[in-house]
C-alpha cells in the first residue's frame, strides 16, 4: 500500500508536506506510511477518500481506478454526483496557486455570462424599438 500512497501523491503533484496537510496528519506520519514503516490506519483511508477522492478499493488492493471520479461514486454507481460537490472535491486536490487560478476563471465566466445577458437584452430592445 505504501507504493500506492506515493503514486497518489505524485499523481496529484503534491509534496509529502502538502498531502500530509491536506489529510490532517504530520509530515513524519505521511513519510512513515509512504515508506511502509507504519501501517496505514483505516481513518486515513477514509480521509483520503473524503478529501482527495481516492478510491479505497484501489488503495487497499491496487484494483480499479485510483480516484472515485474515474469509477463513478464508489459503491453507489447509479447516483449521479452533484456538480458542486464534484467541483469542491476537485478543488481540494489543487494547491493554493491553482485554486486561485480556478477562482479567477470562475469570476471571468460569471462576468461573461452577465455581459451576454446585457447584450441579449439590448438586442431585444433594438428589435422592439419602432422605426421612425
Same-domain check for residues 37 and 71: yes
- The answer to whether residue 22 is domain-embedded is yes
What digits encode the pLDDT tens for the residues 44-60? 999 999 888 898 888 88
Per the structure, the count of domains in the chain is 2
Same-domain check for residues 62 and 106: no
Backbone angles phi, psi at 67, to 5 degrees: -115, 150
- Residue 75's pLDDT is 46
Same-domain check for residues 15 and 45: yes
What digits encode the pLDDT tens for the residues 75-90? 444 455 677 777 777 7
The confidence band for 29, taking pLDDT boundaries of 50, 70 and 90, is very high
Residue closest to 90 by CA, chosen among 65, 59, 67: 67
**How far apart (Å, rounded) are the C-alpha atoms in residues 114 and 111?**
5
The pLDDT of residue 19 is above 50: yes
Q: How many residues does the chain have?
A: 132
- Residue 69's pLDDT is 65
- The answer to whether residue 119 is domain-embedded is yes
- Residue 131's pLDDT is 66
* pTM, full prediction: 0.54
Amino acid at each position: 500500500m505504501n507504493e500506492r500512497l506515493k503514486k497518489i501523491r505524485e499523481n496529484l503533484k503534491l509534496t509529502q508536506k502538502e498531502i500530509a496537510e491536506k489529510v490532517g496528519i504530520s509530515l513524519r506520519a505521511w513519510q512513515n506510511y509512504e515508506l511502509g514503516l507504519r501501517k496505514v490506519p483505516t481513518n486515513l483511508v477514509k480521509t483520503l477518500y473524503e478529501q482527495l477522492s481516492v478510491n479505497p478499493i484501489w488503495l487497499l488492493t491496487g484494483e480499479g481506478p485510483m480516484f472515485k471520479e474515474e469509477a463513478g461514486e464508489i459503491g453507489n454507481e447509479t447516483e449521479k454526483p452533484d456538480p458542486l460537490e464534484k467541483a469542491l472535491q476537485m478543488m481540494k486536490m489543487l494547491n493554493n496557486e491553482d485554486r486561485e487560478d480556478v477562482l479567477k476563471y470562475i469570476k471571468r465566466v460569471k462576468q461573461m455570462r452577465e455581459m451576454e445577458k446585457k447584450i441579449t437584452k439590448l438586442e431585444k430592445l433594438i428589435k422592439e424599438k419602432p422605426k421612425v
